[in-house]
Structure 1
Amino acid sequence: MRKFILCSALVLVMTALSGAAVMAAKPVDNDGDGVTERSDCNDNNALIYPGAAEICTDGLDNNCDGLIDRADPTCTAGVCSDADGDGYGFPADPSCSYTQEDCNDTLASINPGASEVCDNGVDDNCDGLTDTADPACGTNPHASNTWQNYPLDCLSCHDQQFNEMADSTHYWWVGDTTEMANQNGTLQGKLTNSVNSYCINILGDWPVCGKCHVGRGKRPDDPQADKTNIDCLACHNEDYAMARTRLADGSMAPSLAGVENPTAEELQVLDGYTQNINAPTRKNCLKCHAFAGGGNAVKRGDLSMSGTDLHGATLLEGTDNNSDPNFDVHMNVMASDLKCQSCHVFQNHKTIGRGSDLRPTDDLARGSEVKCVTCHAGFDVDGGHAAAGANRTDADRHVSKVACQSCHIDHYAKVATELNRDWRYSHDGTPADGTNGPGHPELTIGEDLSPVYKFWNRLSDNYLLGDVAVIDPETGAYPTSRPIGDINDGKLYPFKYKTGVQPMVSSDSKLVALDTYEYLAGSGDVDQAVQSGLVNMGYPSTEPVEWVTTDTYQLLNHGIAPAANVDCAKCHGDLDLATFSELDNLGYALKGPKAQICSQCHREKNLKSDHPGMHNHVDKGVGMDCLFCHSFSRQEERGGISPCDSNATDFVDTNPFAHPECSQ
């Protein structure tokens, strides 16, 4: 009995000592911000810890004092911020240059100097009054405008705005380039030298291609095109934008404007366009941007609008009337209901944001990128996703190398989009010999597609008219647009991949600007269209050509699904390490045979068969850098030991692997 009691006592003592050892363990600093979990009010977000600077517009208690944003005294002690770049900020006191305080410092369209939009449910001008409650909505300053005096009525009050528009890429269709590998710093754009895998180039076809220009009919480089050629209503009256078309005299206006003797009712409609002026709606923008390429959703693949497609099918859903968050959570009319300019913020009629296949940068001061963190603050740093929800911790490992779109656009072409265009055939598949008259070329379309992923450093190599075309051995096609980057340079982005079959001069390998007016609105004969295009380029009409395949990658930005839909398995599914995957194609492949890689550290062991198992076991201790197993490093972002470090022997203790990167 005494022996039993003694043994029991020893067990109790050992248990107590074991518990004490656990309690005495070193405190953990999960987010690496220098403050341990015992003192840090959020140890999963490196932006949050006692002593941190309070960010006054991110909805977080950054300094752990229990006060958030403007409730924190530090946000009223001379902290100057203009997060949305609209010229108004917080606070408005002598320590800052802002004469008035911005009531919403995340949206540039909302500030004390903005005009009140009278039907959007928002206090746009920060006076505490919304829509019709605002005196600014009590009278219509445009009530006396008439169609007969358009746009002179507009010019009489808005000459500055006309000058701003006349200096924009939206009007000129060319602009300065800052992110092109091909002739960067030159003027490039669709009016002159850009070439794509859709309508190729505008040469010879202003009448059709110019239908979406924000002018009243003339090319912007026409000597007779003065400020009266700017069409304000294309952006500032939704009904006008939807009715606008090319008239017989070459001007752009609603068809009513071409009626010889309009009735009083018809004149009233025309006058109404000039009298009802509003901020641009999605329809104003999508009338051109969703119908680029010749039909709804044809070109971009991530933009669409309700209506009909090229084949006459009725489309019941689109970004303009979207009530399904899975279609586009940002433009969902039942939730965010964002306007295009909420992200593509305009200043002085210049905007930000462009795809990888576009050339000019509209606003050189602000650049081309629309940044998600303008609204989703803090999600671009380690710990930002974890702070927003316990199930998002894995995402924080990716933010330095994976763009938001790659996770949040799980598929595109929610309305069918074009995947290939062959000018040799008419839309019905018959030869384009003019027998059936003018029309659209043959298209291959697809819907509910998975993106193609590529690394992009925000530089693009885009073909220009007159360039020598060079085949890409990776795709076997002649590129018209390529995002530049690789696993060591840039972030991973999702793209639409698209091909086209178009003519090329045999003697010098220059893509031919096929005369699309001849094809789309003239004879419909592809041979005549090619010959006319050759002449437009300065070649004889008999110059030999050959038909080649071109291709392009187009950045996907729209069609964001709810965050809960993000599925890591779309990239990190049950991939066996022995199977060459899409991730391997992107540069994630092992740098040598699996057994040889693992034998750096292990003598004999059952090797992990999947990616999660492998990565979980190398995250032990201070961690191993990716360079032990792959041809790239993430040591700068994640720390750990590299095979090039002197203490690499902490891991490598059996068969050292030759790492050529360490000798470079």
Structure 2
Amino acid sequence: MLTRGNTFFSRLFLVLVSGCMLSIGYYSFSFANQLTMIPEKTYGAEQARKVSMPAKRWVTTDHSRHAVLQQEFLSPEDVTKACLTCHNEASRQIHKTIHWAWTDPADSEKLMGKNGLTLNNFCISIHSNEPRCTSCHAGYGWKDGSFDLSKEESVDCLVCHDTTGTYKKFPTKAGYPVTKTTKFGKKTFQPPNYTVIAASVGRPTRANCGACHFFGGGGDGVKHGDLDSSLFNPSRDLDVHMNAEGANFTCQRCHSTDAHFIAGRTYKQPAFTDRRSLLEDDLVKRISCESCHTATPHALGHKANDHTDKVSCQACHIPAYARVKPTKMYWDWSTAGKKKDGKPYKVMGPHDKASYMTKKGSFVWEKNVQPEYFWYNGKMDYLLVTDKIDPNEVVKVNSVEGDMNDPDSRITPFKVHRGKQPYDAGNMTMAIPHLFGKDKGAYWKGYDWNKSLEAGMAAANVPYSGEYGFVGTEYHYPITHMVAPKEKTLACDSCHARNGRLTKLAGFYMPGRNSSGVVDFIGWFAVIAALIGVVVHGVMRIISKPKEQ
């Protein structure tokens, strides 16, 4: 039999082992809790529904009853003049926005923007290509660098406020619709009935915004990856906010508007700088997820709430982009210009998309694409056409700002579009090609890169050496649309794994991805000690059990 002292130490040992087991059990439960699905009712989502349900959109005027609109309009500018008789500040408000000037209002030097000296690696620049590019401008007549940006009647009210669905700009007419029935590719464009359209104007819909933003870069889904025509009427699986049977958000539901200034990121200005929610301040713009869902969007006590200071909501809630329609992932201009039998030609590839075109070179399209992840504080840095480059390195046409030590940075998903485009080999700068036009300098007319670059650089008022080459480039687009339903968000082990999504983000320890010899030793020691304790305790209980008399 055990002595009284032995019994004391046995019980003390039992207490220690029990404490160890409870600790292991607690942390095991905590880890398991992280792996569970987010409960259906969550604090942040419930609060969001309470504060951000759209109010009924009361109509306070019937435009068909305005005498000034009951006329036969000879030009779209005449429609704008009629609108300005009542909305007499509208054009001046629009003139102050990036939608009009195509330069960033936050940039005092006016270098940042399509009409500035920035580039992309799609169609590269609007300079000398205006009649084609400005088919998506909110104005009329921007056909070259002489366009008067101060004219109020040049603002296109209808492109944003048409509710009939019949108002269409023609792709090559510098922002104008057609005046007679005209074919362009597979589409036929009809001249608009300005009287009917003007009498039916209303608040912008997703169709108005998408007519330009879903087709940027020359086609459906080309540029952004998370913006394409599938969002005109998305399913719940594609976007929980825009789903017609759900919240059915318009674009301005998040991109809130003040005097025609639409909230969102610009070249110099982040989309938002204030992470407060509408619960804290009802004047906060709804451009961030936290605006509606708060910084603790999950169930109270849920481990996922501990991630929101380092991980963006989009990182988990947008597991892939281009989920319905493919997006362009690679564009090689260096292969352009090849002909068959002396004529331009096209080769179709996967997803029923062109893999080669004489006019534009080689493409790679992808669908259901996994994003790349970067630390992002809402700011981007942009290369200017005048900046020096190293042609032996991949040139970042724009780059993501932020790092893990920046309190404003979050791990954020991006589309990275890669390609090859021309550069000035003499000046070691990027180059602007003149692509569109009927003159011999237009590349799509004469297929002469040297003449094309000479004309394009002259239009941008940038020197050109007369020597050119092609260099690899990257362009980064933050992924913020196509928010999946909660049951299709990323599981924890999508990132917390050795070969998870965040393998390229270094400099910090992540459970499941990284290993530590000391931590592993302590953990296994605790487990083994607990097992030994249980066995020893069981044996001691058996030995110390009083014998039956």
The alignment's TM-score, normalised by the length of structure 1, stands at 0.60
Task: Answer whether contact 1:216 1:229 (CA < 8 A) is retained.
Answer: yes
The structure-2 alpha-carbon separation of the partners of 1:172 and 1:537, relative to structure 1 and needing over 3 Å to count, comes to: closer
Q: CA deviation at 1:223?
A: 3.6
Aligned counterpart, 2:169: 244
1:488 aligned to 377, 397, 405, which one?
405
Is 1:430 the counterpart of 2:359? The answer is no
Give a deviation string over 1:587-607, Cα, whole Å, max 9, x none: 33589x9565438x8498499
Q: CA deviation at 1:272?
A: 1.1
Is 1:163 the counterpart of 2:92? The answer is yes
The structure-2 alpha-carbon separation of the partners of 1:257 and 1:582, relative to structure 1 and needing over 3 Å to count, comes to: same
1:418 aligned to 317, 328, 341, which one?
328
Q: CA deviation at 1:257?
A: 8.9
Aligned counterpart, 2:389: 469
Q: CA deviation at 1:255?
A: 4.0
Aligned counterpart, 1:371: 288
1:106 aligned to 23, 47, 52, which one?
52
Give a deviation string over 1:251-289, Cα, whole Å, max 9, x none: 612444999xxxxxx988332122210111111111111
2:298 aligned to 375, 385, 388, which one?
385
Is 1:321 the counterpart of 2:233? The answer is yes
2:109 and 2:493 mapped to 1: Cα distance? 39
Is 1:402 the counterpart of 2:331? The answer is no
Is 1:583 the counterpart of 2:503? The answer is yes
Aligned counterpart, 2:265: 354
Is 1:532 the counterpart of 2:455? The answer is yes
Aligned counterpart, 1:515: 434
Is 1:478 the counterpart of 2:395? The answer is yes
Aligned counterpart, 1:124: 57
Task: Answer whether contact 2:397 2:474 (CA < 8 A) is retained.
Answer: yes
What SS does the aligned partner of 2:503 have?
Answer: helix
Where does 1:18-167 land on structure 2 (aligned, <5 Å)? 58=47, 106=52, 123-125=56-58, 136=61, 140-141=65-66, 144-148=70-74, 149-167=78-96
What SS does the aligned partner of 1:153 have?
Answer: helix
1:299 and 1:241 mapped to 2: Cα distance? 25
2:159 aligned to 230, 234, 237, which one?
234
What SS does the aligned partner of 2:120 have?
Answer: coil
1:362 and 1:45 mapped to 2: Cα distance? 26
1:353 and 1:487 mapped to 2: Cα distance? 23
Where does 1:230-309 land on structure 2 (aligned, <5 Å)? 230-239=155-164, 242-245=167-170, 252-256=176-180, 269-305=193-229
Give a deviation string over 1:28-67, Cα, whole Å, max 9, x none: xxxxxxxxxxxxxxxx9999xxxxxxxxx9379xxxxxxx
The structure-2 alpha-carbon separation of the partners of 1:362 and 1:174, relative to structure 1 and needing over 3 Å to count, comes to: farther
Task: Answer whether contact 2:450 2:466 (CA < 8 A) is retained.
Answer: no
Amino acid across the alignment from 2:152: K
Q: Which has the higher contact order (CA 8 A, sep 6+)?
A: 2
Q: CA deviation at 1:224?
A: 7.5
2:164 and 2:63 mapped to 1: Cα distance? 22
What SS does the aligned partner of 1:466 have?
Answer: coil
Q: CA deviation at 1:466?
A: 0.7
The structure-2 alpha-carbon separation of the partners of 1:348 and 1:552, relative to structure 1 and needing over 3 Å to count, comes to: same
The structure-2 alpha-carbon separation of the partners of 1:503 and 1:471, relative to structure 1 and needing over 3 Å to count, comes to: closer
Task: Answer whether contact 1:463 1:479 (CA < 8 A) is retained.
Answer: yes
1:598 aligned to 496, 507, 519, which one?
519
What SS does the aligned partner of 1:402 have?
Answer: coil
The structure-2 alpha-carbon separation of the partners of 1:234 and 1:290, relative to structure 1 and needing over 3 Å to count, comes to: same
Give a deviation string over 1:531-580, Cα, whole Å, max 9, x none: 4334445677762222100101110011111112112246335x35xx79
What SS does the aligned partner of 1:548 have?
Answer: strand
1:141 and 1:534 mapped to 2: Cα distance? 48
Aligned counterpart, 2:5: none
The structure-2 alpha-carbon separation of the partners of 1:481 and 1:124, relative to structure 1 and needing over 3 Å to count, comes to: same
The structure-2 alpha-carbon separation of the partners of 1:441 and 1:607, relative to structure 1 and needing over 3 Å to count, comes to: farther
2:133 aligned to 209, 217, 240, which one?
209
Aligned counterpart, 2:482: 559
Q: CA deviation at 1:151?
A: 2.0
Q: CA deviation at 1:241?
A: 7.0
Task: Answer whether contact 1:147 1:271 (CA < 8 A) is retained.
Answer: yes
Task: Answer whether contact 1:235 1:284 (CA < 8 A) is retained.
Answer: yes
Q: CA deviation at 1:327?
A: 1.3
1:462 and 1:545 mapped to 2: Cα distance? 22
1:571 aligned to 470, 494, 498, which one?
494
The structure-2 alpha-carbon separation of the partners of 1:187 and 1:548, relative to structure 1 and needing over 3 Å to count, comes to: closer
1:500 aligned to 403, 415, 419, which one?
419
The structure-2 alpha-carbon separation of the partners of 1:398 and 1:594, relative to structure 1 and needing over 3 Å to count, comes to: closer
Q: CA deviation at 1:203?
A: 1.7
1:557 and 1:603 mapped to 2: Cα distance? 39
2:247 aligned to 304, 314, 336, which one?
336
Task: Answer whether contact 2:97 2:105 (CA < 8 A) is retained.
Answer: no
Q: CA deviation at 1:524?
A: 4.2
The structure-2 alpha-carbon separation of the partners of 1:198 and 1:258, relative to structure 1 and needing over 3 Å to count, comes to: closer
1:188 aligned to 101, 109, 112, which one?
112
The structure-2 alpha-carbon separation of the partners of 1:571 and 1:247, relative to structure 1 and needing over 3 Å to count, comes to: closer
Task: Answer whether contact 1:420 1:498 (CA < 8 A) is retained.
Answer: yes
The structure-2 alpha-carbon separation of the partners of 1:156 and 1:537, relative to structure 1 and needing over 3 Å to count, comes to: closer
What SS does the aligned partner of 1:546 have?
Answer: strand
1:268 and 1:468 mapped to 2: Cα distance? 47
Task: Answer whether contact 2:131 2:175 (CA < 8 A) is retained.
Answer: no
1:302 and 1:236 mapped to 2: Cα distance? 24
The structure-2 alpha-carbon separation of the partners of 1:268 and 1:439, relative to structure 1 and needing over 3 Å to count, comes to: closer
Q: CA deviation at 1:487?
A: 2.0
Give a deviation string over 1:90-148, Cα, whole Å, max 9, x none: xxxxxxxxxxxxxxx637xx6xxxxxxxxxxx6224xxxxxxxx775597437525423
Pairwise CA RMSD of aligned residues?
4.3
1:205 and 1:258 mapped to 2: Cα distance? 21
2:524 and 2:156 mapped to 1: Cα distance? 74
1:267 and 1:199 mapped to 2: Cα distance? 28
1:459 and 1:198 mapped to 2: Cα distance? 21
Gaps of 5+ in 1: 1-13, 26-43, 48-56, 61-68, 70-104, 111-121, 126-133, 179-183, 260-265, 306-317, 609-664
1:363 and 1:494 mapped to 2: Cα distance? 17
1:540 and 1:256 mapped to 2: Cα distance? 41
Amino acid across the alignment from 1:292: G
Task: Answer whether contact 1:173 1:191 (CA < 8 A) is retained.
Answer: yes
Q: CA deviation at 1:441?
A: 3.5
Task: Answer whether contact 2:331 2:364 (CA < 8 A) is retained.
Answer: yes
Aligned counterpart, 2:376: 456
Q: CA deviation at 1:205?
A: 1.1
Q: CA deviation at 1:344?
A: 0.5
What SS does the aligned partner of 2:211 have?
Answer: helix
1:137 and 1:328 mapped to 2: Cα distance? 33
Q: CA deviation at 1:584?
A: 5.7
Gaps of 5+ in 2: 1-10, 23-40, 184-189, 275-282, 346-357, 529-549
Give a deviation string over 1:140-183, Cα, whole Å, max 9, x none: 437525423422211111111122112211111112337xxxxx
Percent identity between matched residues is 22
